[in-house]
Amino acid sequence: MLRYTLKRLLSLMISLAIASLVIFAVIEVAPGDPASFMLGINAQEDTLAALRAELGLDQSKLQRYLGWVAGMLQGDFGTSYQYRTPVAQMIGDRLWVSLPLAIYALTLSTLIAFPAGIYAAARRGKAGDIGVMGATQIGVAIPNFWFAMMLVLVFAINLRWFSAGGFAGWDKGTFAALKSLTLPAIALALPQAAILARVMRSALLDVMGEDFMRTARAKGLTRAQALRRHGLRNAMIPVLTILGLQLSFLLAGGIIIEQVFYLPGLGRLIFQSISARDLIVVESVTMLLVFAVIVVNFLVDLAYAAVDPRLRART
Amino acid sequence: MSLLSVENLSLSIRGTSILRDVSLQLDAGEVVAITGESGSGKSMTALAVIQLLPEGSEVDGQIVLDGDDVTAMNEAALCRLRGDVVSMVFQEPMTALNPVQTIGAQVAETVRLHRPDLDPVKRASEVLTRVGLAPDLIPMSRYPHELSGGQRQRVVIAIAIACGPKLLIADEPTTALDVTTQAQILDLLVQLAGEDGMGLMMITHDLAVVAQMAQRIIVMQNGEVVEAGNTSTLLANPQHPYTRALFAASNHQVTLPEIAQTTPLLRVKNVVRDYVLPRTRLFQRPATHRAVDHVSFDIARGERVGLVGESGCGKSTLTRAILGLEAVQSGSITLDGAPVFSGGTPDLSVRRRMQVVFQDPYGSFNPRHRVARLITEPFHLLETRPDNTDERIAVALTAVGLSPDDAEKYPHQFSGGQRQRLAIARALIIRPDLIVFDEAVSALDVSVRAQILDLIAELCVQYDLTYLFISHDLSVVRTITDRVLVMQAGQIVEQGATEAVFTAPTHPYTRTLIDAAPILPVSPKTKVMP
Amino acid sequence: MSRTLILGGALSVLVVLAALTSFIWTPFEHTAMNIPAKLQTPNGTHWFGTDHFGRDMFSMIMVGARTSIAVAFVAVGIGIGLGVPLGLWAAARQGGWVDEVIMRGNDLIFAFPSLVIAILITAIFGAGAINAIIAIGIFNIPVFARVTRGGALPIWAREFILAARVAGKGAARISYEHVLPNIANLLIVQATIQFSLGILAEAALSYVGLGAQPPTPSWGRMLADAQTLVSIAPHMALVPGFAIILTVLGLNLLGDGLRDALDPKLRVAGV
């Protein structure tokens, strides 16, 4: 198990290193000079040079890359070109919106999808299965930002149960903060729940066809007992994969939902920074999201091993 | 009164009739074998007794087990019955156990379900000890993937007998196992049945397996019981023509022509093939597994040589090396003096002189190509495609007993035996010197197997062929080869004339193999059947 | 044919027909503004109503279908064109360093949150349909590579591959002759799935203003226009929303139907 973990950890670090290079390279080839963008068209040449020096833009590419990575390792993400404030602080504030939103949405998605998937698998081919599957087909086809607009229309504008957008802030209390994240979380969660429920169902149906399920039935277990005691854990492997992909999607996919609800999260930060050419912020936020995705994948790999003893043995 | 009494059982699945008027009895403590070829309905009969039939099954008739008709029971009553009164052991031990649960937990679960009065863990440990997996040797905390196939089958048996059932059904329990393991598992089943006074119902396609252990044999064909009787009577004097044909096919002998010359065609000299194992530590030199260990032998032109051994003995690796598909670490393999392996680009002039026939009649053809394209694939080994391709297709198809018109068909339009004929046609079309048969008849029913063996014997005369016949089935090797090589753990431990090796083996491993292989005792009367 | 296949096929054909018809005919010029007729709900003249500039939404939906289909189609093409050969190559060299490099590269692309990178690409290199296609297409490459490799590995273990090797055929030839035809079904099904995901992604990019630029109409931008007006003119959001949902639903049903129809195992069972 330790060996497996170390091996995964090594591949995690290689992935991070390559990802940082790619992101740096993409930002590097971006047209436009941040310094001239910040000072406007009429800036003096010597003022520009001074600003470039201040921002570290006059250094070689390698120096800048190494400086960026070394900074990140110490929690220093540089200074925003636009606001002249530490990027780490900007990200920190926004993370307190985006991360709870992602976790909220994932929780909702799991709570809906697991029972729905298990129910559909157990009633395979019957009316309940067809109903759930039909609903998930539509769920998969709905763009989440459109669904968000519909939620606003119904629950905020017509029913007035929620505000149409904005974030209450954690200082207004957990309830108020969660309430303002509820519609965004639902908008994010439902289409994801549809995918997850489908995966859950098909994983369970695959497991039901396995020989060991027949052994379980021959022992005298009922269909439901066999499914619960032997089926579920074996079906978790494909489900975990999707769950891992979803958490990363929810972290990143929040970007557009944050636009719909005017939430001050990482998504809005990235859009504002792109339009302001505040590349260091874009670079760091992207890197953070990639980091989150890679770490989530690492955790999923560990979860696999916890579920499946065969993986623990293999190196 | 019988322990189990099946009366006029008919079964159809989604409208397709599977069983018709099956009646059979089984007494407590009795060992009964149900035999028949694929599609005979023997497995479905077993599944009907334990009421684990596939969805969409319609049952007619009675199955009285221990005084109750199981066809009339509701699901709750059946769940109390299964695992307690009747248990089942399945064919495929590799997949019959839950991979993510320890073996101890899987055995204990049965106890917990039916015997709340017993300590499940203690009972599991007792039962595992009985099947030869004493917890001080094989801890109950092991997972299935940490056990061998035979050990896994023992766990499945332990699960089945944990609550002391009155009837144990074993559906092809040894088909997936090696011959020595098979003998041990069969002994274990019979011993357990005897000790506990259990009724044992053995489902098998291989009569020889059950001939020594069953008191009665029931022969099925196409969903019907064609004959039933005491083992000794039935074997000595089979009544039904199908039974007689089945017996004859099981003991089928072919006639081989004399070998004309003794010049060596294939020479294998001191061949070593190592495989690199996955690293166990990050910065350690990876260990190697020696799959083939200094193997040497010659095959003379016209000779039919058998290669026998159990799974993992290295015969597959050796086969690939002989076919020139893989390099060897040391030693040489030559065909008529030319090396069979020539680096990345195959030496066509050598390759075109040998062909291969594989085991799986379903997997050995690309399902999307027509027969004409499939069997002419070896023409790729020629510099130019022959002008008379159509004629050669027709000749090859005719030679293996198919029609030239079959060239336009797809492989799924043929039966398993016909596909094996196609595979032989594919090998034959380029007129090779050597054909390697890699378990080529192992997947076939006995009657089909007999026909294919006849065909193979005929062709070697007509086409002046040399055979290397690789098989785990000793009875087949015994009839189709002149000389036999016995392989164990990467080495050839014995070689010699087939009859000599079989009648007087010198190596202890050969002795074990031959003793373990089940043989059907036949009376002279059955042997004369065509 | 199953009902799923028929329904999915009909919806998909309908959308493609609408897109093709828009080249020769639309009820109104889709860019023609008519302020007096703005924000009309669906009626006899304007079947899907009008937007805040009085443009006919039915015409806009028809022309918008063109953009959606074109973007998704080319993006799938990129995925198949690069992903399938990579997947075949990796499968042919299973366990070797080529396989390792290709699969690790795949994992790496998967590790990037696709939408973020798509936004990054379009934001940095300029918003527009071409960059949207590239951004979506890049993420199709590892999907097809993985599906291809996953489908090809069991084929490589089959005996007919060994027979082809005995016949002296090389890995490239075997991949083309024996592996590809046997995974074609898998790829067709995956293509319909990626197509529908492409349509969703294009809509999302256009919605945040990074997809096709005006005057090229697109469903995503129609939704962006609708956002501030959703309380007074809900049809402006409902119409393009339903267009997206029905298109994606149609493609997904088509994919499911094709999978069932093309799966030889299921076909044998059906006989």
- Tell me which chain A residues have a C-beta less than 8 angstroms from the C-beta of C194: none
- What element of type H or E holds B267? strand B264-276
Answer yes or no: do B95 and A218 touch at CB < 8 A: no
Q: Which residue has the tokens 């289909």?
A: C69
B279 lies within 8 A of chain C by CB: no
Answer yes or no: do B363 and C159 touch at CB < 8 A: yes
Give the residue on B whose Cα is nearest the Cα of C160: B364
As a whole number of angstroms, the distance between CA C63 and CA A277 comes to 33
Give the model confidence (pLDDT) of A49-87 as tens digits: 887 777 777 778 888 888 888 888 888 877 787 777 888
- CATH 3.40.50.300 corresponds to the domain B320-480+494-516: yes
Neighbours of chain B (3+ CB pairs under 8 A): A, C
Q: How many other CB atoms sit within 10 Å of the CB of residue A144?
A: 24
Give the residue on C whose Cα is nearest the Cα of A289: C113
As a whole number of angstroms, the distance between CA A15 and CA A33 comes to 29
Neighbours of chain C (3+ CB pairs under 8 A): A, B
Predicted pLDDT of residue B527: 39
Dihedral of CA B385/B387/B389/B392: which sign? negative
As a whole number of angstroms, the distance between CA A111 and CA A115 comes to 7
Q: Determine the distance in angstroms separating the CA of C165 from the nearest CA of chain A, rounded to an integer.
A: 30
Q: Determine the distance in angstroms separating the CA of A305 from the nearest CA of chain B, rounded to an integer.
A: 10
- Tell me which chain A residues have a C-beta less than 8 angstroms from the C-beta of B113: 219-221
Q: What is the ipTM of this complex?
A: 0.85
Q: State chain B's mean pLDDT as an integer.
A: 88
Tokens at residue C96, please?
Answer: 């070797």
As a whole number of angstroms, the distance between CA B129 and CA B368 comes to 51
Which of A220, A222, A37 shows the shortest CA–CA distance to A122? A222
Question: Which residues is B485 bridged to in the sheet?
Answer: B307, B495
As a whole number of angstroms, the distance between CA C251 and CA C9 comes to 7
Give the model confidence (pLDDT) of B476-485 as tens digits: 898 899 999 9
- Sequential DSSP letters for A206-227: HHHTSHHHHHHHHHT--HHHHI
Closest partner residue to C168 (CB to CB) among B381, B412, B426 is: B381
Q: State chain A's mean pLDDT as an integer.
A: 84
As a whole number of angstroms, the distance between CA B526 and CA B530 comes to 9
Q: Determine the distance in angstroms separating the CA of A27 from the nearest CA of chain C, rounded to an integer.
A: 8
Strand order in the sheet with B434-438: B354-357, B434-438, B466-471, B304-308, B483-488, B491-497
Average pLDDT over residues C63-71: 90
**Is the confidence at residue A315, as pLDDT, over 50?**
no
As a whole number of angstroms, the distance between CA C122 and CA B93 comes to 55
Neighbours of chain A (3+ CB pairs under 8 A): B, C
Single-letter amino acid, residue C106: N
As a whole number of angstroms, the distance between CA A167 and CA A266 comes to 13
Predicted pLDDT of residue C141: 92
DSSP B146: G
A256-270, B237-251, C100-114 — which is least confidently predicted? C100-114
B504 lies within 8 A of chain C by CB: no
Fold (topology level) of A87-313: MetI-like fold (1.10.3720)
List the single best residue of C156, C159, C265 to mutate versus B (max B Cβ within 10 A). Answer: C159
Answer yes or no: do C165 and B378 touch at CB < 8 A: no
3-state helix, strand, coil in chain B (%, to 5): 35, 25, 40
Q: Where are the domains of chain A?
A: 87-313
- Torsion of the alpha carbons at A221, A224, A226 and A230, rounded to the nearest 10: -150
Give the model confidence (pLDDT) of B434-451 as tens digits: 999 998 888 888 888 899
DSSP B439: S
Give the residue on B whose Cα is nearest the Cα of C182: B368
B361 lies within 8 A of chain C by CB: no
- Tell me which chain B residues have a C-beta less than 8 angstroms from the C-beta of A121: none
Interface size B-C, in CB pairs within 8 Å, comes to 56
Single-letter amino acid, residue A229: R
- What element of type H or E holds B199? strand B199-204
- The pLDDT confidence band at residue C267, using thresholds 50, 70 and 90, is very low
The answer to whether residues B168 and B156 touch, using CB atoms and an 8 Å cutoff, is no
Which of A311, A267, A315, A295 shows the shortest CA–CA distance to A91? A267
| A contact set with B (CB within 8 A) | 3, 6-7, 10, 210-212, 214-223, 229-230, 233-234, 307-310, 313-315
Question: Which residues is B495 bridged to in the sheet?
Answer: B485
Pinpoint the residues of chain B covered by CATH 3.40.50.300: 4-250, 320-480+494-516
C185 lies within 8 A of chain B by CB: no
- The pLDDT confidence band at residue A135, using thresholds 50, 70 and 90, is very high
Which of B359, B469, B381 shows the shortest CA–CA distance to C160? B359
Predicted pLDDT of residue B356: 92
Backbone phi, psi, residue A210, to 5°: -75, 155
Average pLDDT over residues C55-80: 90
Give the model confidence (pLDDT) of A289-298 as tens digits: 888 888 888 8
C209 lies within 8 A of chain A by CB: no
* pTM confidence score: 0.83
Query: How far is CA B409 from each of CA B82, B364, C184, rounded to the nearest angstrom?
Result: 47, 16, 21
- The pLDDT confidence band at residue B128, using thresholds 50, 70 and 90, is very high
- The pLDDT confidence band at residue B152, using thresholds 50, 70 and 90, is very high
**Is the confidence at residue C268, as pLDDT, over 50?**
no
Helix, strand or coil, per DSSP, at residue B346 = coil
**Is the confidence at residue B521, as pLDDT, over 90?**
no
As a whole number of angstroms, the distance between CA A258 and CA A266 comes to 8
As a whole number of angstroms, the distance between CA B10 and CA B223 comes to 9
Give the model confidence (pLDDT) of C180-204 as tens digits: 988 988 898 889 889 998 999 889 8
As a whole number of angstroms, the distance between CA A30 and CA C232 comes to 41
- The pLDDT confidence band at residue C263, using thresholds 50, 70 and 90, is low
Q: State chain C's mean pLDDT as an integer.
A: 85
As a whole number of angstroms, the distance between CA C264 and CA C204 comes to 37
Give the residue on A whose Cα is nearest the Cα of B110: A219
B365 lies within 8 A of chain C by CB: yes
Predicted pLDDT of residue A313: 63
Answer yes or no: do B377 and C164 touch at CB < 8 A: yes
Answer yes or no: do B88 and A218 touch at CB < 8 A: yes
- Sequential DSSP letters for C35-76: GGGTTPPS-SSSTT-B-TT--BHHHHHHHHHHHHHHHHHHHH
Strand order in the sheet with B31-35: B86-89, B167-171, B199-204, B31-35, B216-221, B224-230
List the single best residue of A145, A247, A259, A282 to mutate versus C (max C Cβ within 10 A). Answer: A145
Q: Tell me which CATH code domain B4-250 carries.
A: 3.40.50.300
